[in-house]
Structure 1
Amino acid sequence: MPRNTKIFAVLSLAYVALLLAYVFVGLSWESWGFSFPRRIKIVSAIILVGTAIALSSVVFQTITTNHILTPSIMGLDSLYLFLQTIVVFALGSGHLVMISDVPGFLMTLLLMVGASTLLFLLMFRRDDQNIYFLVLVGFVFGTVFSGLADFMQVIIDPNEYSVLEGRMFATFNRINLDLLWIAAPIIVALLIMTVRDFRALDVLSLGRTHAINLGVNYRGLVLRSLISIAVMTSVATVLVGPITFLGILVVSLARALFKTYRHHILAFGAILVAVTVLLLGMLLTERILMFRTPLSVIINFVGGLYFLYLLLKAKNA
């Protein structure tokens, strides 16, 4: 049996074991009617968010030819927090609940995707545009949005801020089922579209010059991939909140496990790692830590440490 097949088998078994443990452990006939649908809803959100973040991170690292960068560097997390903050600042925390409804979800999603797409189109008007310039511009915009959000958070009422603070951390416990029905077809459609580009992305991993010489439509592939990345990242962020370092963590684990450039292995391996890590994190936060620590705090702590390790490793290489 090939090595990658063995790793897929082990990860799949771990995923199924964690899934069954999360859904069924602790259930009773008295709590079945409430707990079982809630857990199925959370597992569905984990699969969608894990797929979106892992796939978008793999593709983003390919088009930037950098294994440290992830879509969060483009400032989408900061834009999400800015939109949440401006609602509380202008209208009050009572209106923040509308962001969890379908109209608010679609409005926030359209604003995030629209801002990202506009940025990509403006940056790619010239054929010689460097992808790293785009990343730098996205980072600057993210810093601006973060600064504006921090300014408004300082001057709003402390009671309003306490409500807003709950939106600063990703959570799978307040998922709206209607939003899952909207997010699922979007992510599935983007997954299918991205899978069709896997062969071209395999070639692009050799670098821009080699990809163009081998017949890849570099401009079209990168622009199409960036828009897909923006949509997937925006859907995941609006659905559960920002998880900044999940992408770098799961993709780095997938690269260490599978050791391949082929995207049909690496991407699906990263997705499997992502959903396994999220399920393990949910079991840890709900059954061991008893909701005292948000899942995003644990992931960002571990992912942040790993990110610093990668930076130091790259510096000393």
Structure 2
Amino acid sequence: MKFKPFAYLLSLVVVLLSLFYLLNNYATMTDYIWRLRVSKLTAYIVIVLAIVPSTFAFQTLFRSHYLSPNVLGMDAIFSLCQTLIFFIGSRFMNREVGTLTTSSFLINLVLMLFFSALLYIAVRPRQLRERFDESLLIMLGLILSQLIRSLTTFMQVIMDPSDYDALFSRLNPSFQRISTTLLIIGMVIVLIGLVILFKYSSVLDVIKVDHDTAASLGINIQKVTYQLIFIIVLMIGTSTAIVGPLTFLGFMIANITYQYTQISHHWQYFIIGSLLGLIMIIGGQWVNESLLNNHYNLSVIVDVAGALMFFTLLFKGGRAYQTQ
């Protein structure tokens, strides 16, 4: 199916699912439930628009459909920051830690940006003729992420059990806990990030073909990579702070888009992928709330499905490699 008819069809499905979600049990709906559903629906849109386009850009920069931006350690930084807040607040300040505040949200983003900047500085080419080593960046990200997780686990072990229970609920991704204040900040960040990603979509089209071709056309690969990593970290960090780390959502949507659509431009990937993500999240949450009575955590289902897709693609790739 061509891009425009397919995009219109997906948009219609998104609108219908949004109406089903908002108007479910309309006769018994109160003003509080209506406001809650509107805020949650807005959060779903912000999360999908933050994760899916940034995943497409990240996979193009690092030339692999198997990667997710979380390999840079965003979830590890989030866990460390939240653990520090609970650990310091309960152990040294003798006070309970409530919901995620704007200050802790901004601290999360600053730490994520600082961490990604350190990674980039560590592996950036020292001379102009050298190429950017993406594999070294990913390897460093994975190693440092494991170090951060070990430090986080150490602090969690010596925490008070009641504080750890509260922290555990904070660290697990959930589409039920939505902060209106963080949502407004997230909307601004994601909107700015989308504008920049769409601006760079034609550059990403060239980079996807070949880095040497992009360099011969005058594209500064190092500069573009650094700028886009900055935007990707901002967007992934925003979605992580709002609902928690969703490792496989962007990966799953991106690979579905690659395999079952016939499009080649990144701006088309951004639109189709975002619509597919909205259908998955809004539709899944509507089924969970209206038919399953919230007995299941949608984020867990998404991660399990994404992990199964990852191993399926890995297996197919290995079989294809053996038959060549």
What's the TM-score once normalised by structure 2's chain length?
Answer: 0.91
The residue type equivalent to 2:97 in the other structure is L
Partner residue, 1:105: 105
After TM superposition, the runs of 4+ consecutive aligned structure 1 residues lying more than 6 A away are: none
Amino acid at match of 2:81: L
Contact 1:117 1:230 in 2 (8 A): no
Which residue is 1:5 aligned to? 4
**Which residue pairs with 2:304 in the alignment?**
301
Q: Does 1:166 align with 2:165?
A: no
Q: Write the distance in 2 (CA, Å) between the matches of 1:92 and 1:285.
A: 35
Q: Which residue of 2 aligns with 1:143?
A: 146
For residues 178-222 of structure 1, what are the alpha-carbon distances to aligned partners after superposition, in whole Å with 9 as ceiling and x for unaligned? Answer: 111111111111111111111111000012122112322211111
1:291 pairs, out of 276, 294, 302, with 294
1:158-177 Cα deviation digits (max 9, x unpaired) = 22221111122222322111
Q: Which residue pairs with 1:182 in the alignment?
A: 185
Offset at residue 277 of structure 1 (A)? 1.0
Does residue 42 of the first structure (1) align with residue 45 of the second (2)? Answer: no
Q: Quick one: distance in 2 between partners of 1:63 and 1:95? A: 42
AA in 2 matched with 1:206: V
Counterpart in 2 of 1:121? 121
Which moved further from structure 2: 44-53 or 307-316? 307-316
Q: Secondary structure at the match of 2:168?
A: helix
Q: Share of identical aligned residues, percent? A: 28
| Cα RMSD for the two superposed structures | 1.8
Assess if the C-alpha contact under 8 Å between 2:71 and 2:141 holds in 1: yes
- SS of structure 2 residue aligned to 1:205: helix
1:248-284 deviation digits (Å, cap 9, x = unpaired): 1111111123233310111111111111111122113
Name the aligned partner's letter for residue 2 of structure 2: R
Q: 1:97/1:109 Cα in 2 relative to 1: closer, same or farther (>3 Å)?
A: farther
- Per the TM alignment, residue 242 of structure 1 is displaced from its structure 2 partner at its CA by 0.8
The answer on whether the counterparts of 1:87 and 1:95 sit within 8 Å (CA) in structure 2 is no
User: Alignment length, in residue pairs?
Assistant: 314
Q: Does residue 263 of the first structure (1) align with residue 266 of the second (2)?
A: yes
Query: How does 1:86-105 map onto structure 2 within 5 Å?
Result: 86-92=84-90, 95-97=96-98, 100-105=100-105
Verify the 8 A CA contact 2:248 2:306 in the aligned structure 1. Answer: yes
Give the SS at the match of 1:236: helix
AA in 2 matched with 1:55: P
TM-score by length of 1: 0.93
Q: Distance in 1 between matches of 2:291 and 2:168?
A: 23
Displacement of 1:125 in angstroms is: 5.2
1:127-276 correspondence runs (5 A): 127=128, 128=130, 129-276=132-279
Deviation of residue 17 (structure 1)?
A: 1.3
- Describe the SS at the equivalent of 2:57: helix
5+ residue gaps, structure 1: none
Aligned amino acid, residue 98 of structure 2:
V
Q: Which amino acid letter does the alignment assign opposite residue 217 of structure 2?
A: L
The aligned amino acid for 1:76 is M
> What is the CA-CA distance between 1:148 and the residue it aligns to?
2.0
* Contact 1:169/1:297, CA 8 A, preserved across alignment: no
Displacement of 1:300 in angstroms is: 0.4
Q: CA offset at residue 9 of structure 1? A: 2.2
Q: Which SS does the other structure have where 2:66 is aligned?
A: coil
Counterpart secondary structure, 2:296: coil
Is the 1:169–1:294 contact (alpha carbons within 8 Å) kept by the matching residues of 2?
Answer: no
**Structure-2 separation of matches of 1:170 and 1:235:** 13
Cα distance in 1, alignment partners of residues 45 and 231 from structure 2: 18
Indicate if the aligned counterparts of 2:7 and 2:271 stay in contact, CA closer than 8 A: no
Cα distance in 2, alignment partners of residues 257 and 95 from structure 1:
49
Q: Can you give the 5+ residue segments of structure 2 that lack an aligned partner in the other structure?
A: none
